[in-house]
Amino acid sequence: MSYVDDKDGEKKQERRREFEANLEKAGLELETEDKSDSKDQKTYFLKIHAPWDVLATYADVLKVKVPFKESDVPHGQDVPLEWLSHPFRLPDHVMHPQPDYFTYPFDKNKMDFFLINDKDTFFPPSTRNRIVFYILARCPYFKEGRKDKDKTGIKRLLSNGTYTAAFPLHDCRYWKRARNAECESERFNLYKHWARFLCFYKEQPLNLIRKYYGEKIGIYFAWLGFYTEMLFFAAVMGFICFTYGLLSYDVNMSSKEICDADIGGSILMCPLCDKKCPFWKLNSTCLSSWQSHLFDNEGTVFFAIFMGIWVTLFLEFWKRRQARLEYEWDLVDFEEEQQQLQIRPEFEIRCTNRRLNRITQEMEPYLPVTSKCARFCLSGATVIFWISLIVACIIGVIAYRLAVYAAFASIIKDPMRKIQLVGRFITPQLATSVTASCINFVIIMILNFFYERVAIWITDMEIPKTHLEYENRLTMKMFLFQFVNYYSSCFYVAFFKGKFVGYPGKYSYMFGNSTKLRNEECDPGGCLIELTTQLVIVMAGKQLWGNIQEALLPLIRNWWSSRKGRHNPENHYSRWEQDHVLQNFSQLGLFYEYLEMVVQFGFITLFVASFPLAPLLALFNNILEIRVDAWKFTTQFRRPVASKARNIGAWQEILNAVAILSVVTNAFIMAFTSDMIPRMVYLYAYSKEASMRGYINNSLSIYNISQIPKENMPEDDWYRDYRYPPGHQKEYTHTMQFWHILAAKMAFIIIMEHVVFVVKFFVAWMIPDVPSDVKARFKRERYLIQEYLHNYEVERLKLQIHKKAIHVMLQLVIALLKQLLK
């Protein structure tokens, strides 16, 4: 722990004196480094040592599981062609820093039951610092005899500035082994084999991560690594789908007809906006139709179905992986409530009311119902306001798209301007979509910056009682906001754009006819390419910005201190000072890491039908993300206090909800955003040649130019829909083909959803959550524990009886000798 003298020195000095006296009463050994020995000549350092008796006592209290017998259960059979995986393996001493043992909760009264070879190394580092922090969190700093029980714990002392920091020490410098040969130099091993980017193709040393940082951080890296492994299969299938689009480029009849000068060049299309937009020829969208085919082809349907099944496999196999880790890391019987239900210091400070706890029969702080309701109402109103602000921004971006489309159309297509070379490759739709997506991304990042602080503020305002409750509330608020913030623009392009356009002479306008902002139309090839553009810009932009924040900014910020640490020998620049200048790893540190990955998971599942290469982008990002996070933990952060966790918590339920929603969104994208269903209806119901020849002409409707209202005419035909031509008895109303296509779309949604959901539930039912070998090892361990405890107790009883018999015999002998002497 560290502290400095300041203007409130007397009060803080009194608190420190009482706190440190109580720590010594608890059995801890304290050692103070004077400020004159520190580099800045201002900071005092208090080093805390935990002797064996203290560790043993609190290991008994916390029911820490420790080894009592080496495991005799085989891990598995030899895998054929195992030599192929050797390049990806790490040294065995890194992957398995400890042998595999059967474990049992520590009992101080049964010391000889456990395998205690060396008391100094019996408890791993993560367990030792967890025990010390447990003592610090519950140690009071009030004078003996007083009853200020709220004045308890290191968190309160950190929040009121009595101490400036409290952290476990790293065991060595990350770039060099410790000078003491007995030190395991685990930080160095983690940096050498895990945190360097050149190790990106290697497996992660999860057991060493768990041993050094604790189970909670170990679970995060296990989940991230497993997610990245599963992304490989999705990326391969997405790449195959994209390759199919490339290879079928030349047989795409729809694009050929659009680009054909005799077909697409002879079709004059209605203006896409009022006044400023001219009539245009269909073949001007030749390039965008080719681009659309790359992602909107027969392979996309297969890939959308595959991703629905992949999500289920990912979640089910993760449950199995998680169950294996629970067993291997002794988390099976762990109850998170033991650790997480500790009352937050902020709750104790701000809740002045007290009431009797029926369980502990002690007075505890509580928040009155009226105050709680008022805080929840204010919190809910704040969340609704910010979500409404996001929706308002999205509407603003839509208005921008409508307003500038005419400008891009007049500039790009104006023959008097010398930009015809650009105009051949960039359509007004593409220019509008790209600029709007970039503006939307900037708005997303700005809103995200502010809302993160607002979410923390309103969660603090609610004053959650426990840390678990605090994290769950913040998780729901942040994910709800991120969901609306990142995905709303994609939902607009996928499900609303081009769906409420109207037809020439009766167009639909945003905010009514008076605004003259005509609703957007899709390209003749559909809106899928625009959804792809939106997804790529937002997803890739977020990943790029996230990596800059996580890697580049910390590197610049800590460059000076890192250089300083390297060029000062450890005997001149102490271990605790080197760690003190590092960044503090906050309690919400993992929260932001999970949030980033879950938002990415939403991108690659909810809208993956529009961009099959999204899993590939996510795979490349995650390979980098693992090493960046590892680098931060080993080089940039102080060593976090170890904590336990059985699973990834509330994020598991969020992933399940996103997985179910992704089936629905991808079905609707294939039905209403893609042009696949209209093409299939034409091919099997309306084509006379059983081919796609003539599809473009069939998908267009004729409108008499003389009937276009003056306000819609350009200053200085055809349109995309299924309506009867002028002069027909049902002029400009929907044709029967329109209803056939709509029925086919609805049927496709129902069939795809039911097929994918049936397969999902069948796969989930077929794959057990706990592997059979883990069940066997667990049962074997339970059996051995009972057997060993029984034998141990029998031996102890025999020993006690034997001692008692000897004692009785001695008493008889002594009595007999006394009688003889008389």
pLDDT in tens, 398-424: 888 777 776 766 665 554 444 444 445
Taking a C-beta distance cutoff of 8 angstroms, is the pair 629, 597 a contact?
A: no
**Of 5-9, 48-52, 445-449, 467-471, which gets the smallest average pLDDT?**
5-9
Amino acid at 150: D
**pLDDT band with cut points at 50, 70 and 90 for residue 168:** very high
Average of per-residue pLDDT across 114-137: 87
Q: Provide the sign of the torsion angle of the four alpha carbons 86, 91, 92, 98, taken in this order.
A: negative
Q: Output 287 or 247, whichever has higher pLDDT.
A: 247
Determine the pLDDT at residue 1.
92
* pTM assigned to the model: 0.85
Residue with tokens 């029980």: 149
Q: Quick check: 261 pLDDT over 70?
A: yes
User: What is the DSSP pairing of strand 2-4 with strand 718-720?
Assistant: unpaired
Q: Quick check: 622 pLDDT over 90?
A: yes
Determine the pLDDT at residue 349.
67
Mean pLDDT of the chain: 81
pLDDT in tens, 104-113: 888 888 888 8
- Residue 183, SS3 per DSSP: coil
User: What is the DSSP pairing of strand 280-281 with strand 43-49?
Assistant: unpaired
Q: Quick check: 143 pLDDT over 60?
A: yes
Query: What are the phi and psi torsion angles at 151 (to 5°)?
Result: -85, 75
Pull the structure tokens for residue 128: 């030792």
**pLDDT band with cut points at 50, 70 and 90 for residue 206:** very high
Pull the structure tokens for residue 742: 């709509």
**pLDDT band with cut points at 50, 70 and 90 for residue 714:** low
Average of per-residue pLDDT across 370-377: 86
Pull the structure tokens for residue 723: 């309506």
- Residue 260, SS3 per DSSP: coil
Taking a C-beta distance cutoff of 8 angstroms, is the pair 253, 691 a contact?
A: yes
Nearest to 183 by CA among 452, 570, 475: 570
Q: What is the distance between the alpha carbons of residues 130 and 640, in angstroms, rounded to a whole number?
A: 10
Determine the pLDDT at residue 287.
77
**Of 136-145, 257-266, 504-513, 734-743, which gets the smallest average pLDDT?**
504-513
Determine the pLDDT at residue 416.
42
Please state, as a whole number, how many other Cβ atoms lie within 10 Å of the Cβ of residue 728: 12
Q: What is the distance between the alpha carbons of residues 185 and 171, in angstroms, rounded to a whole number?
A: 6
Determine the pLDDT at residue 410.
62
Taking a C-beta distance cutoff of 8 angstroms, is the pair 250, 361 a contact?
A: no
Q: Output 429 or 208, whichever has higher pLDDT.
A: 208
Nearest to 577 by CA among 181, 34, 211, 137: 34
Nearest to 788 by CA among 58, 255, 115, 150: 115
**pLDDT band with cut points at 50, 70 and 90 for residue 219:** very high
**pLDDT band with cut points at 50, 70 and 90 for residue 50:** very high
The domain segmentation of the chain, as residue ranges, is: 2-211, 771-821
Average of per-residue pLDDT across 195-202: 87
Please state, as a whole number, how many other Cβ atoms lie within 10 Å of the Cβ of residue 386: 21
Nearest to 40 by CA among 574, 515, 758: 574
- Residues 6+ away with beta carbon under 8 Å from 12: 3, 6, 160, 161, 162
**pLDDT band with cut points at 50, 70 and 90 for residue 83:** low
Query: What are the phi and psi torsion angles at 306 (to 5°)?
Result: -60, -45
Q: What is the distance between the alpha carbons of residues 250 and 759, in angstroms, rounded to a whole number?
A: 35
Pull the structure tokens for residue 157: 């002392």
Average of per-residue pLDDT across 63-78: 74
Determine the pLDDT at residue 617.
92
**pLDDT band with cut points at 50, 70 and 90 for residue 95:** confident
- The percent of residues in the chain predicted with pLDDT above 70, rounded, is 86
**pLDDT band with cut points at 50, 70 and 90 for residue 74:** low
Longest dimension (CA), the chain: 143
Determine the pLDDT at residue 723.
81
Q: What is the distance between the alpha carbons of residues 445 and 434, in angstroms, rounded to a whole number?
A: 17
Average of per-residue pLDDT across 609-616: 90
Determine the pLDDT at residue 150.
61
Q: Which of 5-14, 367-376, 536-545, 603-612 has the highest mean pLDDT?
A: 603-612
Average of per-residue pLDDT across 244-262: 82
- Residues 6+ away with beta carbon under 8 Å from 766: none
Q: Output 280 or 174, whichever has higher pLDDT.
A: 174
Determine the pLDDT at residue 418.
44
pLDDT in tens, 794-809: 888 888 888 888 888 8
pLDDT in tens, 723-756: 888 878 888 788 888 888 888 888 888 888 888 8
Q: Output 236 or 125, whichever has higher pLDDT.
A: 236
Q: Output 756 or 132, whichever has higher pLDDT.
A: 132
Average of per-residue pLDDT across 771-793: 81
Determine the pLDDT at residue 48.
94
Q: Output 218 or 755, whichever has higher pLDDT.
A: 218
Q: Output 335 or 181, whichever has higher pLDDT.
A: 181
Taking a C-beta distance cutoff of 8 angstroms, is the pair 610, 537 a contact?
A: no
Determine the pLDDT at residue 341.
46
**pLDDT band with cut points at 50, 70 and 90 for residue 620:** very high
**Of 343-352, 559-568, 646-655, which gets the smallest average pLDDT?**
559-568
Nearest to 128 by CA among 219, 3, 214: 214
Q: What is the distance between the alpha carbons of residues 196 and 506, in angstroms, rounded to a whole number?
A: 62
Amino acid at 762: F
What one-character-per-residue DSSP string does 348-395 give?
A: HHH---EEE-TTT-SEEE---HHHHHHHHHHHHHHHHHHHHHHHHHHH
Q: What is the distance between the alpha carbons of residues 432 and 740, in angstroms, rounded to a whole number?
A: 32
- The percent of residues in the chain predicted with pLDDT above 90, rounded, is 15
Please state, as a whole number, how many other Cβ atoms lie within 10 Å of the Cβ of residue 422: 12
In 50-96, which ranges are E strands? 65-70
Average of per-residue pLDDT across 526-538: 82
Q: Output 90 or 626, whichever has higher pLDDT.
A: 626
Q: Output 612 or 505, whichever has higher pLDDT.
A: 612
Q: Output 397 or 550, whichever has higher pLDDT.
A: 397
Number of residues written out for the chain:
822
